[in-house]
């Protein structure tokens, strides 16, 4: 194999049934970039969609791309690919996680790990450069992720990065995760996929490095990015509060560039730290910009914050680390490190509200952080809030109604006195029961569709206009992820593509930045064309540029999960620099690919690389839907939109100012335009043969033909 830059050049293959461990050169997968793209190709070639997700031959594929470990900012990511057990179609699915474990895998000399087979006993995979072994994990089987990760470090040394599943994964709970000890997690049921294989976790140490084709260029690009382009978390390009150097601050007074004078880390070692001002071109203060705790909880966050933490190669530090000492009064752990969903929804299981603990207004924070630690320890996933919404739906019912769904004995066994008192042990007990699959209520952690089936709820249950307990945009078992409420038809379209919540942030990074609308609109239209960017609650009918922007978001996100970059930060669409007229640099990720790998990349080329991955995803989704739903007509079976999206805000019509509701006919036209951009059949939403051949996927086209999917498409069109 020719010398490789960026890519480590090989993948590990581990058969848990036989214990065989081998390596394979991976040059043939480089056109799929790595991570997600590489895993999709391997999955298609080796694990047919006919397989049950828990079959011995089913694969779990850990993948990192050429940019991870290569010194590129915001590249500390790892992608994990497997089959869904809980969403409609049981199709191909991905978990995404940060931390340091992805970079460590590269330093050990690997671009990925392909796991097959099922072990007879609990094991963990130990990797120390070229020394790879399966080690007995019986002692930590049944333990939470924090204890398991600690044990693996104690057994192997502090130089090892570890990740573990919890009891939820061991008990094959569909909503389950793989977690590091710092709160980084890969969800979507990854815990159960590993638990089925008796694989408790990973312990990785790499002492090597990633070969970079042009190190000086990587440094030059990094300094350019840090001094001219990067903003706060989600690349928000103006500070939340006015700062002396800034022309603008967030119009709402809130965004994820939350550091500001007077906003303190009061529990910092050595004394309080004032996050102060962070001029956009002072690279030494970038790490003070994202005071994520303040964004989530406001002023009480300062009382409990130790510092900002985060992933390898990332200056943004979006994981606020806390010491929540009131939890000690309940014999609960006080340390927490997390960001996004686990810290947001704990209060939803307290229909009667929460109280202050130590400081005025800290109740939401204390309760949510207790939830966060408990779900991480149990390895329980929230499906972007569906777990909490479905729980709230039943918990707020009176007893006589709730006991139509769960037994009277189970209802009465719940510690309701803790709920009434706002006691954090209430949520911890709910989490424990779900992680161990105890009682009727635990079906919620098997997924929204499984819950609906068990409770006899009709499909129309997903059409309810009740944002507190229903955020499903389509009927496939997962919720809205920055959809039409934040990104008009564009957000609805990109929420159609995946087999879990889409995890796309290309638009919400702009709409949430807080810069004046006209400033952001100019940036977006200069990059993506006139009419692509709507004002909040003032939407306009679909047009071609909106459809193209939606496709761009999908392809770009797939490139990120293959390269592997953080989609919370990339691409560099905006800039905090007034001198740049707040325009970012979309070409930067291609420039980094060129500098790291030594091969020539362009932004247009990366879009095509991302599109190849999109086509693989769509073709495999069609196959799995034919297999498990009886039809490969994805427009009807996969992409149907829930009624509430069109029926909300009954006093408004679509496109009137003041609503985010969409129009049915307009969205059907939007699908037509979106499918056209991707080269998908308008009637069925399946990639045409011509499209698959364009992306060197003729074997997939042959497969669709052989399975009768194209014939079915023809019949559907007639």
Q: Quick one: 403 and 507 in the same domain?
A: no
Is position 216 within any domain? no
Structure tokens at 603: 């932004």
Q: What is the dihedral of CA 509, 510, 511, 513, to 10 degrees?
A: 80
Structure tokens at 662: 């969409």
Q: Quick one: 156 and 254 in the same domain?
A: no
Q: Quick one: 444 and 511 in the same domain?
A: no
CATH number of the domain to which 488 belongs: 1.10.599.10
Structure tokens at 369: 């952080």
Last residue of a domain, one of 178, 205, 232: 205
Query: Are 600 and 680 in contact, with CB atoms under 8 Å apart?
Result: no
CA distance 171 to 345: 24
How many domains are contained in the chain?
3
Q: Quick one: 330 and 452 in the same domain?
A: yes
Q: Quick one: 429 and 302 in the same domain?
A: yes
CA distance 17 to 33: 29
CA distance 283 to 267: 24
Query: Are 628 and 507 in contact, with CB atoms under 8 Å apart?
Result: no
What pLDDT, on a 0 to 100 scale, did the predictor assign at position 566?
96
Statement: the pTM of the whole predicted model exceeds 0.85: yes
The b-or-e profile of 308-317 (16+ CB within 10 A means b, else e) is bbbbbbbbbb
Give 356-383 pLDDT, tens digit per residue.
999 999 999 999 999 999 999 999 999 9
What pLDDT, on a 0 to 100 scale, did the predictor assign at position 64?
99
Residues in the chain: 718
Of residues 247, 282, 279, the one with CA closest to residue 514: 247
Q: Quick one: 687 and 642 in the same domain?
A: yes
Q: Quick one: 429 and 516 in the same domain?
A: no
Q: Quick one: 324 and 400 in the same domain?
A: yes
Q: Quick one: 399 and 268 in the same domain?
A: yes
CATH number of the domain to which 25 belongs: 3.60.9.10
CATH number of the domain to which 358 belongs: 1.10.569.10
Residues of the chain falling short of pLDDT 50:
none
Q: Quick one: 326 and 399 in the same domain?
A: yes
| φ/ψ bin of 645: left (φ > 0), alpha (ψ from -120 to 50), beta (otherwise) | alpha
Task: Work out whether strand 199-205 and strand 123-128 pair parallel, antiparallel, or are unpaired.
Answer: parallel
What pLDDT, on a 0 to 100 scale, did the predictor assign at position 352?
87
Query: Are 407 and 399 in contact, with CB atoms under 8 Å apart?
Result: no
CA distance 111 to 11: 5
What pLDDT, on a 0 to 100 scale, did the predictor assign at position 340?
83
Is position 468 within any domain? no
Is position 420 within any domain? yes
CA distances from 207 to 210, 313, 512, 649 (A): 10, 17, 40, 57
Give 572-583 pLDDT, tens digit per residue.
999 999 999 999
Structure tokens at 556: 């770009």
Is position 236 within any domain? no
Is position 155 within any domain? yes
Q: Quick one: 518 and 573 in the same domain?
A: yes
CA distance 661 to 648: 6
HEC-encoded secondary structure of 43-57: HHHHCCCCCCCCCCC
Of residues 283, 273, 279, the one with CA closest to residue 316: 283
Last residue of a domain, one of 438, 457, 476: 457
Query: Are 177 and 559 in contact, with CB atoms under 8 Å apart?
Result: no
For residue 111, the enclosing domain spans 10-205
Count other C-beta atoms under 10 Å from residue 456's C-beta: 9
Last residue of a domain, one of 395, 422, 457: 457
CA 592 to chain centre: 23
Is position 499 within any domain? yes
CA distance 470 to 383: 12
Q: Quick one: 438 and 554 in the same domain?
A: no
Is position 694 within any domain? yes
What pLDDT, on a 0 to 100 scale, did the predictor assign at position 1?
56
Structure tokens at 341: 């969903």
CA distance 444 to 321: 29
Is position 702 within any domain? yes
What pLDDT, on a 0 to 100 scale, did the predictor assign at position 621?
99
Count other C-beta atoms under 10 Å from residue 178's C-beta: 33
Question: Rounded to 5 degrees, what angle do the CA atoms 606, 608, 609 make?
Answer: 60
């Amino acid at each position: 194999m020719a010398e490789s830059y960026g890519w480590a050049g090989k993948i590990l293959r581990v058969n848990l049934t036989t214990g065989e461990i081998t390596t394979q050169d991976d040059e043939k997968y480089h056109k799929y970039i790595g991570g997600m793209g590489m895993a999709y190709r391997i999955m298609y070639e080796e694990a047919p969609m006919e397989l049950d997700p828990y079959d011995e031959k089913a694969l779990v594929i850990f993948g990192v791309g050429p940019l991870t470990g290569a010194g590129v900012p915001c590249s500390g990511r790892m992608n994990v690919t497997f089959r869904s057990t809980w969403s409609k179609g049981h199709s191909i699915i991905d978990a995404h996680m940060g931390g340091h474990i992805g970079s460590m895998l590269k330093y050990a000399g690997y671009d990925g790990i392909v796991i097959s087979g099922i072990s007879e006993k609990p094991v963990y995979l130990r990797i120390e450069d070229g020394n790879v072994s399966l080690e007995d994990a019986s002692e930590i089987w049944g333990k939470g992720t924090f204890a398991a990760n600690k044990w693996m470090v104690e057994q192997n040394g502090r130089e090892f990065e570890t990740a573990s599943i919890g009891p939820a994964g061991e008990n094959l709970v569909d909503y389950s995760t793989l977690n590091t000890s710092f709160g980084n997690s890969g969800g979507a049921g990854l815990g159960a996929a590993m638990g089925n294989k008796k694989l408790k976790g990973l312990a990785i140490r790499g002492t090597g490095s990633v070969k970079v084709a042009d190190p000086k260029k990587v440094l030059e690009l990094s300094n350019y990015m840090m001094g001219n382009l990067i903003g706060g978390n989600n690349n928000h390009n103006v500070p939340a509060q006015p700062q002396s150097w800034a022309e603008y601050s967030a119009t709402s007074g809130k965004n994820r560039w939350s550091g500001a004078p007077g906003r303190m880390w009061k529990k910092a070692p050595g004394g309080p730290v004032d996050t102060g001002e962070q001029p956009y071109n002072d690279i030494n203060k970038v790490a003070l910009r994202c005071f994520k705790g303040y964004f989530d909880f406001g002023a009480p966050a300062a009382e409990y914050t130790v510092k900002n933490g985060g992933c390898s190669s990332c200056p943004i530090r979006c994981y606020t680390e806390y010491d929540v000492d009131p939890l000690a009064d309940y014999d609960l752990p006080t340390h927490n490190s997390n960001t996004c969903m686990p810290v947001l929804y704990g209060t939803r299981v307290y229909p009667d509200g929460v109280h202050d603990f130590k400081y005025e207004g800290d109740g939401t924070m204390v309760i949510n952080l207790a939830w966060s630690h408990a779900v991480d320890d149990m390895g329980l996933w929230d499906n972007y809030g569906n777990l909490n919404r479905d729980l709230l739906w039943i918990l707020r019912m009176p007893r006589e109604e709730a006991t139509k769904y769960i037994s009277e004995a189970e209802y009465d066994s719940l510690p309701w006195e803790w709920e009434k008192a706002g006691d954090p042990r209430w949520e911890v007990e709910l989490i424990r029961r779900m992680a161990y699959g105890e009682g009727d209520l635990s079906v919620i952690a098997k997924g929204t569709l499984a819950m609906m089936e068990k409770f006899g709820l009709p499909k129309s249950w997903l059409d309810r206009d009740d944002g507190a307990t229903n955020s499903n945009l389509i009927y496939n078992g997962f919720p809205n992820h920055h959809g039409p409420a934040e990104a008009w038809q564009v957000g609805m379209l990109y929420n159609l593509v995946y087999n879990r919540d889409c995890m796309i942030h290309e638009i919400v990074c702009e709409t949430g930045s807080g810069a004046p609308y006209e400033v952001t609109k100019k940036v977006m239209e200069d990059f993506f064309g006139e009419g692509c960017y709507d004002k909040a609650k003032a939407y306009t009918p679909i047009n071609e540029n909106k459809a193209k922007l939606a496709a761009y978001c999908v392809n770009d996100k797939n490139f990120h999960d293959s390269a592997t970059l953080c989609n919370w930060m990339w691409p560099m669409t905006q800039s905090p620099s007034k001198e740049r007229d707040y325009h970012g640099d979309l070409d930067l990720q291609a420039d980094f690919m060129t500098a790291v790998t030594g091969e020539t990349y362009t932004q247009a080329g990366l879009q095509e690389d991302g599109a190849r991955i999109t086509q693989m995803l769509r073709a495999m989704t069609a196959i799995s839907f034919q297999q498990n739903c009886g039809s490969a007509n994805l427009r009807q079976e996969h992409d149907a939109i829930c009624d509430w999206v069109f029926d909300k805000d009954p006093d408004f019509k679509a496109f009137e100012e003041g609503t985010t509701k969409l129009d049915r006919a307009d969205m059907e036209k939007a699908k037509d335009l979106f499918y056209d951009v991707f080269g998908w059949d308008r009637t069925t939403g399946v990639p045409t043969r011509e499209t698959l051949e364009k992306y060197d996927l003729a074997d997939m086209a042959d497969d669709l033909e052989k399975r009768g999917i194209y014939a079915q498409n023809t019949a559907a069109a007639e």
